[in-house]
Structure 1
Amino acid sequence: MTQEAITVYQTDSNGWFVGEALAYESPLEPGIFLIPAGAYADPIPDFAMGERPRRIDKDTWKNSQWPEPVTSEPEPLRKPSSCTPAQGLVALFALKNITEDTVLDAIAQIPDPVQQYTAKIGYQRATTWERDSPTMLAMAQLLQLSSEELDELFAYAVTVQV
């Protein structure tokens, strides 16, 4: 059993013709076609270069000048400011071949015991690594990561699925 179909003319949310589509006959009501929302069975008029048919009401197509695209400056990309420790560790290894042992060795090199303990707790117990936290900036310095490399690390880290 083949299903009957008719060509319909699809519009966007502003009524501009965007292309042809097919409407199929209802399996429950022979002779009734299931026309998609925003589509019309009556054909579009011929139109000139720079024009496009537009549906202005339920019964009427009108050729109109196709609007110029609105161009605006793209929003600047925001740099990620946090990630999970697991994401950060994967990013460190993927981008810099730095392992968890390397991080722990770097923390062990901190001469001040309070700073060393703070870095160790911040590294091992934090549920989130914050890009601009004092501990993260100190760790970046210990691992010899520049500000740009730290940005790259966080940008990569937020894409990691663990």
Structure 2
Amino acid sequence: MKNKIVFQYDRAGHYIGTTQADESPLEPGVYHLPANTTAIAPPDTWPDDKWPRFVGKRWELIQKPVPANDNDPVAKLSAFLAANPDVAELISNKGGV
């Protein structure tokens, strides 16, 4: 049985690293991808202030999240929205469809 390198991301789509997908014992050439992985490689390099985020079928570079001050709820929310632009977009639409 063969293995293939695949690329992991967290629940928000942020790149974590690599892992291996195992080849199907019943279908040679078909690989079973673990949850939250893709065979699509992220960019080889990116600026220090950016981070790869997997969105559907591609990687995009987003602003790298900055650790928030745990005592400042506004800073925590700001960091969360910066790391999750899709949530920020939903909020900016004010519930409109």
- TM-score (structure 1 length as normaliser): 0.41
- Look at both structures and tell me which one has the larger radius of gyration over its CA atoms: 1
Distance 2:70 2:54 in 1: 27
Higher helix share: 1
1:100 corresponds in structure 2 to none
Does residue 56 (structure 1) correspond to residue 72 (structure 2)? The answer is no
Residue 46 of structure 2 corresponds to 47
Structure 1: tracts of 5 or more residues without a match: 74-162
Give the distance between the partners of 1:36 and 1:27, measured in 2 at CA. 15
Deviating 4+ runs (over 2 angstroms): none
TM-score of the superposed pair, with normalisation by structure 2:
0.66
Percentage of matched positions with identical amino acids: 33
Q: Secondary structure at the match of 1:36?
A: coil
C-alpha displacement of 1:71: 3.1
Letter in 2 for 1:37: A
Q: 1:72 aligns with which of 67, 70, 73?
A: 70
C-alpha RMSD of the superposition: 1.2
**Runs (5+) with no aligned partner, structure 2:** 72-97
Q: CA deviation at 1:48?
A: 1.5
Q: Deviations over 1:133-159 (max 9, x none)?
A: xxxxxxxxxxxxxxxxxxxxxxxxxxx
Q: 1:71–1:26: structure 2 CA closer, same or farther, 3 Å change rule?
A: farther
CA distance in 1, matches of 2:50, 2:28: 37
